[in-house]
Structure 1
Amino acid sequence: MGSRLVEQLGAQTVAGATAAALAGQIRALILDGRLTVGERLPSERALALELRRSRSTITRAYGVLESDGYVSRLHGGSTRVTLPHAAASMPSDDDESAIDLSIASMDSTPGLYDATVRSLPRLAAMRGTSGYSLRGLPELREAVAQRFTERGAVTAPDEIMITSGALNALNLVLATIGRRGERALVEQPTFPHALEAIARHGYRPVPTPVDVDGWDPRHLSETLLSARPHVAYLIPDFHNPTGATMPDGERSRLVATARSARTHLIVDETTADLDIDRGWTPTPIAAYDPRVITLGSMSKIAWGGMRIGWIRAERSLIDRLLAVRPSFELGTALLEQCIAVELLSDMPALTTHVRARLRAGRAAVAAGLAAIGGIGMPTTPGGLSAWVDLEAPLSTALSLAARERQVILPPGPRFTTGGVLERRLRIPITLPPERTAEAMSRIADAWHDVRFGHPARHDDLRHAAVI
């Protein structure tokens, strides 16, 4: 079994890379959090064998990392990940000059304040309670169930469980039905934190490709039938990060194939309401089979600070989830649930605001790419981001150069298993247009350095560390 470092790098990605370029790739993994501080890296000899490179190349790469403060080495001992002392000078949460493109979410909807005020009488009636709920407020579960029913998947309130966000919901599902050592089908690319959750629960990821044009139905079906994964995690509506939407015909075939493979389908609908101009509305996958497990969230349509999510599943699974949940969480806050009830009562206004914001963000990204030249704006009918094709495997190099300009821009491999998709870059369309314009201007400068040469991008990146 290969090392985690090579798994993250992708052996093909670094094939033929110079020692400086290899050091840059490893540095990017450290800065992006995919290699953790204190983690032990393979020995020079072991890494040389895995990458089929000379030991002298690996020695030089490790030497560059050590001199920049990204690894510590003991003579005859281990090489471990560190961060340089200059890390404090890099972008932080309170650094207003930094632009963080690693988080694709909008600021709060204008209706959030009014919804909060309207929720107060309902909250006042609950002052004698614990302040949280294991299953979720009946009014909120009813509102979420009604939304499913209106979209074509008839749902009862007792088939809904309210959670503290969609990622919390995914972890709860995996803790309840998970089987360590089993396979999990995942899209390539996909939401990075979902990949981390799946790995943390002991699954072995099996990727299936997705692009802006959609899924490869044949690959998806053949992988399900050959690998027979225990679970499959999919984002069929405005897929994160590509923005693709799975057609109804493919959804029907997916459900039938998963049933044959005895695979639990976990469908993430966090981005389902982020429509700009798709022009059609798909049927929820849950409408094809009641056994489909669906995750949803308020964070993308209302505010990231609204830690409200939900799970739609069969009643028997809801009961199992309720039995497991107290082992790591006692429930979801009632205040946020009360606000969510009010917000869901005015979904037309909510989606209108989201559409306008996303359209403006998309236009700002498109203008920024046009100014750079040579990089096309992909089809982006909605969702969180533009999945950009750089036309060359320069994503990590661009990410490093962008950090020098106070822009945190995760490279394409961050959204994959195995360190692939170096040609791709996710650029959020969720920031205010003026903030996006500034970010694109800095990215343009970084792109110029990467394409036309800038000695600093590999020689002195110690100040690019983020904590």
Structure 2
Amino acid sequence: MASRLVEQLGAQNIVGASAAELSDHIRAVILDGRMTVGERLPSERALAFELRRSRSTVTRAYDLLEADGYVSRLHGGGTRVALPNARVPPTAPEDDTAIDLSIASMDSTPGLYDATVRSLPRLAALRGTSGYSLQGLPELRDAVAQRFAQRGLPTSADEIIITSGALNALNLILTAIGRRGERALVEQPTFPHAMESLHLHGYRVVPTPVDVDGWDAAHLMEVLLRARPQQHFHEVGGAPAVDVDGWDAAHLMEVLLRARPHVAYLIPDFHNPTGATLPEEVRDRITATARNAGTHLIVDETTAELDIDRGRSPAPLGAFGPHVITLGSMSKIAWGGMRLGWIRAERKLISRLLAVRPSFELGTALLEQCIAVELLADMPALTSHVRARLLAGRDAVSEGLAGMGGLTMPATPGGLSAWVDLGAPVSTRLALAAREHGLIVPPGPRFTTGGVLERRLRIPITLTPERTAEAMSRLRAAWESLQAGASVPDRALQQTAVI
């Protein structure tokens, strides 16, 4: 079995790497947070064996890391991950001029100020209450339920809990139903902090691939017919056909049936980071297969409203089965500062969540809830603003990448980002080089379970066109320096959250 370090590096990405290149890759894994401070690394002999390299190469790589403060080595204690003591704290910004592409989030909607003003009488009316709101304000839960109904999923207010964001909602669910040591199915790539939450709750993560290139339809149809035959297929030339954009649905359902994971975490609409949308024809089968496997299906809909020109609106995954647990959030459609989300689930699970929640929080801030009521009352204006901003951001990214030979931007009909193909496994090296040009961008492996997808880079389409143009200019400079054979920078990098 491969060590965790090699899993995160992706052995195929460092074939033939020099000692300096190997140390750079390990440093990137550490600064991405994929290896934790204090975690023990393989011995020089063991790592050399795993990588099929000479021990002297590995020793030299560890020497370089130790000299820069990224590992500590004690006789008899092995080699452990460290951070340079003389550097700035890893969460502090490097400088005021850096552009941070690890955050895929827009600034606030123009309607936020007016909504805040309108919300104040509602907040004032609550002064006579305790101020605690364990399940959420009834009027907000009703507004969220109505939004589900408008999208094709009838919902009542008592099937909703208001939370302090979607990640908070995920942790509440895992606290209530989690089982340490069980398997959790996740897409690869996926939202990094969701994987971290699953690991925190003791799950063993099992990946299933998602991309923007489509998959083997014949294989998919075989599994679909075996899992739940003869429903919701479109007939083309006498044979069933189905859109398989993004997901390898055959693999996903095989994993559900074979591994029977306890939970599955999916992002079916404008998937983060690829932007893909799970076809409606497949949603029914995945939902049914998860139910048959005894898997709790946790669906992240934080990106579901980020449509530019998709041309269709698939029914929510929850419309195909009452057992589906759905997460939502205001942060992507209104503002990241609105730390407010929700859970939609069966009433039985809602009761269980309410019983667990007081162990770590007593509800969601009332001001944010009052503002959210006002914002949800005018969803057309909100979604119109989102569409215009994302369209401008997408155009700016496309224009910025146009002259960068070797990079391919896929169709991006919505979502937070473009999942750019670099044409070669150089994502980590490009991310490192970008720091020298004042650009913070997480490499493709940051979104994976095992150091793969070095050909990919997530570029947000959420910044203003002016800010995006400057970011693309810096990325171009980094790309050109990499193409020219410049060495990877040898200095501390900022460890950032990926949003």
What band does the TM-score fall into relative to the shorter chain?
over 0.9
SS in 2 for 1:338: helix
Paired position in structure 2 for 1:361: 393
Residue of structure 1 in register with 2:220 after alignment: none
Compute the displacement of 1:198 (Å): 0.8
Of residues 428, 445, 453 in structure 2, which corresponds to 1:413?
445
Cα-to-partner distance string for 1:331-369 (whole Å, 9 max, x where unaligned): 101110000000000100000000010001101110111
CA contact (8 A) 2:421 2:456 kept: yes
Cα distance, 1:466 vs structure 2? 4.8
Aligned partners of 1:79, 1:89: CA distance in 2, in Å?
A: 22
Residue 109 of structure 2 is matched in structure 1 by: 109
Q: Which residue does the alignment assign to 2:142?
A: 142
Amino acid at match of 2:208: T
Q: Which moved more, 1:371-380 or 1:234-243?
A: 371-380
Say which is worse superposed, 414-423 or 44-53, in terms of deviation. 44-53
Residue type of the alignment partner of 2:406: G
Stretch moving more, 52-61 or 188-197:
52-61
Shift of 1:76: 4.5
**One-letter code aligned to 2:6:** V
CA distance in 1, matches of 2:405, 2:50: 38
- Residue 77 of structure 1 and its aligned partner are, at CA, apart by 3.3
Q: Say if 1:273 and 1:380 are closer, same or farther in 2 by CA, change over 3 A.
A: same
Q: Root-mean-square deviation (CA), in Å?
A: 1.7
Q: Establish whether residue 323 from structure 1 lines up as the match of residue 352 from structure 2.
A: no
Matched residues, percent identical? Answer: 76
Determine if contact 2:296/2:325 at 8 Å carries over to the other structure: yes
Q: Return 209-218 or 68-77, whichever deviates more.
A: 68-77
Q: In the alignment, is residue 435 of structure 1 matched against residue 467 of structure 2?
A: yes
- 1:386-465 equivalences under 5 Å are 386-455=418-487, 457=488, 460-465=489-494
Does structure 2 conserve the Cα–Cα contact (< 8 Å) formed by 1:214 and 1:245? yes
Cα distance 1:357–1:330, how it changes in 2: closer, same or farther (>3 A)?
same
Aligned to 2:42: 42
* Structure 2: runs of 5 or more not aligned: 213-244
Amino acid at match of 2:120: L
Q: TM-score, normalised by structure 2?
A: 0.90
Q: Deviations over 1:3-61 (max 9, x none)?
A: 32222212333233221111111110122122233333222122223333321111011
What does residue range 25-174 of structure 1 map to in structure 2 within 5 Å? 25-84=25-84, 87-88=87-88, 92-93=92-93, 95-174=95-174
Q: Distance in 1 between matches of 2:271 and 2:377?
A: 26
Deviations along 1:124-155, one digit per CA (max 9) or x if unpaired, are 01113333311000000000000111111110
**Contact 1:274 / 1:383 at 8 angstroms: preserved in 2?**
yes
The alignment's TM-score, normalised by the length of structure 1, stands at 0.96
Deviates more, 1:275-284 or 1:206-215: 206-215
Q: Report the Cα distance in structure 2 between the residues aligned to 1:209 and 1:225, rounded to whole angstroms.
A: 16
Q: 1:230 aligns with which of 262, 285, 288?
A: 262
Q: Give yes or no for contact 1:65–1:71 (8 Å, CA) kept in 2.
A: yes
Between stretches 127-136 and 353-362, larger displacement belongs to 127-136
User: Contact (CA 8 Å) 2:180, 2:203: kept in 1 or not?
Assistant: yes
Moved more, 312-321 or 41-50: 41-50
Report if aligned partners of 1:205, 1:417 keep a CA contact under 8 Å in 2.
Answer: yes
User: The residue matched to 1:132 in structure 2 has which SS?
Assistant: coil
Letter of the 1:215 counterpart: W
- Structure 2 distance, partners of 1:130, 1:432, is 41
CA distance in 2, matches of 1:90, 1:2: 28
Contact persistence 1:402–1:443 (CA under 8 A): yes
Report what 2:382 is aligned to: 350
1:196-275 equivalences in 2 (<5 Å): 196-212=196-212, 213-275=245-307
Note the C-alpha offset of 1:323.
Answer: 0.4
Q: Which has the larger displacement, 263-272 or 75-84?
A: 75-84
The 8 Å contact of residues 138 and 157 in structure 2, kept in 1 or not, is answered as yes
**In the aligned structure 2, how far is the partner of 1:245 from the partner of 1:238?**
5
What CA distance in whole angstroms lies between the structure 2 residues aligned with 1:42 and 1:340?
Answer: 49
Q: Is the 8 A contact 1:394 1:423 kept in 2?
A: yes
The structural deviation recorded for 1:464 is 3.2
Structure 2 Cα separation of the partners of residues 235 and 393 of structure 1: 25
The whole-number CA distance in structure 1 between the counterparts of 2:176 and 2:450 is 27
Q: Which amino acid aligns with 2:276?
A: A
> Residue 61 of structure 1 aligns to which amino acid in structure 2?
A
CA distance in 1, matches of 2:300, 2:493: 33
Provide the secondary structure at the position in 1 that maps to 2:115: helix
- Is the deviation greater in 68-77 or in 257-266? 68-77
- Is the partner of 1:225 in helix, strand or coil? helix
Is the CA contact 1:232–1:264 (under 8 Å) kept in the aligned structure 2?
yes
Secondary structure of 1:97 counterpart:
coil
CA contact (8 A) 2:260 2:294 kept: yes
* Contact residue 101 and residue 460 of structure 2 kept, 8 A: yes
How far does residue 248 in structure 1 lie from its aligned partner after superposition?
A: 0.8
Deviates more, 1:20-29 or 1:86-95: 86-95
Q: Which amino acid aligns with 1:283?
A: A
Letter in 1 for 2:206: V
Secondary structure of 2:299's partner? strand
* Structure 2: distance between partners of 1:214 and 1:107: 28
- For 1:310, the aligned partner's letter is W
Conservation of the 8 A alpha-carbon contact between 1:277 and 1:382: yes
Residue 308 in structure 1 maps to residue 340 in structure 2:
yes
Q: What secondary structure does 2:13 align onto?
A: coil
State the 1:221 CA deviation: 1.3
**1:463/1:223 CA distance change after superposition, 3 Å:** closer
Structure 2 SS opposite 1:450: helix
Aligned-residue offset at 1:85: 5.2
Q: Assess, with a 3 A threshold, how the Cα gap between structure 1 residues 126 and 251 changes in structure 2: closer, same or farther.
A: same
